[in-house]
Chain A
């Protein structure tokens, strides 16, 4: 049983080793691709096990919880691991077309696989300090990936990224230290009881706020999101797609985990703050996007505004809202990674990501235009695409609570999202190219186009499938939300598991 939990982390690490050793030969990229396929298989096995058992846990090194490091997966963790593997595979394919050979020789694929391992580890761990370690693994890998390939812009972005993220991990680490001082344990399942039983509940709330700030920087919520639009528009498109899809979601996941499992003593206070933070995040993100004229910068600001919806799902703290939050998380990873992929291919065809300097893609690359429409309108929440269901669940939860202002802001932000998406559509696709020539697919070699369009089409297909057959996904999200709100199963599985 325990190997089901280990393999999704071990496979990318092993792939990284082999990919690095073979980095000077073309075999390196195929090793990376094969590793991503294996990761997907491993995470599918995890999903099957979770669907059968509900919650599964394993104690590393055979040290019983709460002393050893526990790996644990409930529905939420399992779906995040699967979606990570899917995004990883899509990126591994996309990178075949985009990443130049010099970058491959620097060990690009090894770093990429380490990043995937870090993200997966963060989703699977049941130990707070171990979570910190995975954050560091992610930070080191993502910083290297951000600056790889060189250039002043990338270094500038990388420094901002690393500086702000270091502050966040520092706050997180201090929170861990204080929490350990108060409760004497760092196992998340054990913490639930220990935190509830702690004498000094005031201090617990302070610690909860430290975690909120630490994870908030990772998740890029208002007012801690500055690093995101400053850095996501510079690296390779494959990398910014992975970052956009996965990295901020790790922060959201950590918030969801800690603020449903551990910090539930003062929901009226902590989650009320989260509501306002979420609303401001949604609104500033979408307004920021409206002011931008760069394909990737618009998308970066939209990440922020969408993060607001997910944290709102957590903040409202009803089964329906959390279910919407989980659904949103999954939908958004697929859609956002895909939009960055589209931006990369649009640059290949039209020569830039600056909306003022490109155009005419609708005429010359209708397939790309069609493939852009799907994630873009899904992001804006058009029925019947996946984003509609995600927004619908959140808005419905807000209405059920009679929170009309929250409802109003959610709908308004959806509307403003359409504005940005139509802006990209108008400038990049409809308007003729300013330099008068037609951007054509001929500008990219067939190998590049094939490698880039395959993941775009695959993720778009997933968006449509979720949109037209939301039933199983909604049911899954419902179970995940129930497990989050009622984590007795999680706690007993972790603490009572026989190794």
Chain B
């Protein structure tokens, strides 16, 4: 697509959508959002970019192949599940470390395995969707 309006607009849109996708990922545990929806939005950002600048340019922007991103995400998600193994809990039990308090109400923020899992999901969805769209775009 060779529209200068679209190409110029895409620059703004891509950044906005991508930042929004990260926002959705991070607010996921206590409010609507999370890895899956964040990953979809992230994929949308890159799809807009590839519509504006072509899939080749997008692959360069991604640096890692989309399949690679998906597989690494799968590994991260698995690792998040494995953390509970060392704590003696069933698989995927969330592990929480509260900073500056001892619960959601009192703590300033938390470090937890749930977010790690969500990041894994984010990458799986992002990589999966992008590898599909690239396959469609590059064939023609």
Spell out A's residues near B (CB within 8 Å).
2-3, 6, 10, 13-14, 16-17, 20-21, 58-62, 107, 110, 499
Contacts and interface: CB of A to CB of B under 8 A. Distances in A.
A21 B94 contact: no
Closest 9 CB pairs of A and B: A17-B75, A6-B91, A62-B93, A61-B92, A20-B71, A2-B90, A60-B92, A62-B90, A61-B93
Nearest to A18: B75
Interface in B34-81: 67-68, 71-72, 74-75, 78, 81
22 contacts: A3-B85, A6-B81, A10-B81, A13-B78, A14-B75, A16-B74, A17-B71, A17-B72, A17-B74, A17-B78, A20-B67, A20-B68, A20-B71, A21-B68, A59-B90, A60-B90, A60-B91, A61-B92, A61-B94, A62-B90, A107-B71, A499-B90
Contact of B91 (A14, A16, A61): A61
Contacts of A6: 81, 91
Nearest to A14: B78
Contacts of B93: 61-62
A243 B114 CA distance: 35
A59 B92 CA distance: 10
A3 B94 CA distance: 16
B90 A10 contact: no
Nearest to B91: A6
Contacts, number: 44
Contacts of A3: 85, 91
B89 interface: yes
A498 B67 CA distance: 39
Q: Among B74, B85, B90, B92, find the residue whose CB has the most chain A CB atoms closer than 10 A.
A: B90
Q: Is the interface of A mostly helix, strand, loop or mixed?
A: helix
A59 B93 CA distance: 9
B130 to A, nearest CB: 15
Interface in B68-124: 68, 71-72, 74-75, 78, 81-82, 85, 89-94
A2 B91 contact: yes
Nearest to A107: B67
Specify which of A17, A60, A62 lies most central, judged by the most chain B CB atoms within 10 Å of its CB. A17
B91 A10 contact: yes
Contacts of B89: 62
B90 A61 contact: yes
Contacts of A10: 78, 81-82, 91
Most A-side CB within 10 Å, residue of B75, B85, B91, B94: B91
Contacts of A59: 90
A62 B84 CA distance: 10
Contacts of A61: 90-94
Nearest to B128: A140
A418 to B, nearest CB: 45
Contacts of B71: 16-17, 20-21, 107, 110
A17 B75 CA distance: 6
Given A10-B82, A16-B71, 6 more contacts: A10-B81, A17-B72, A17-B78, A58-B91, A61-B94, A62-B90
Contacts of B74: 13, 16-17
A304 B68 CA distance: 37
Contacts of B94: 61
B84 to A, nearest CB: 8
Nearest to A114: B74
Contacts of B85: 3
A49 to B, nearest CB: 15
B69 to A, nearest CB: 11
B89 to A, nearest CB: 6
A12 B89 CA distance: 21
A59 B91 CA distance: 8
A60 B92 CA distance: 6
A6 B93 CA distance: 13
A61 to B, nearest CB: 4
Contacts of B68: 20-21
B117 to A, nearest CB: 10
A477 B96 CA distance: 44
A61 B84 CA distance: 9
B17 to A, nearest CB: 25
A124 B131 CA distance: 30
A59 B90 CA distance: 7
Nearest to A5: B91
A137 B81 CA distance: 18
A107 B69 CA distance: 13
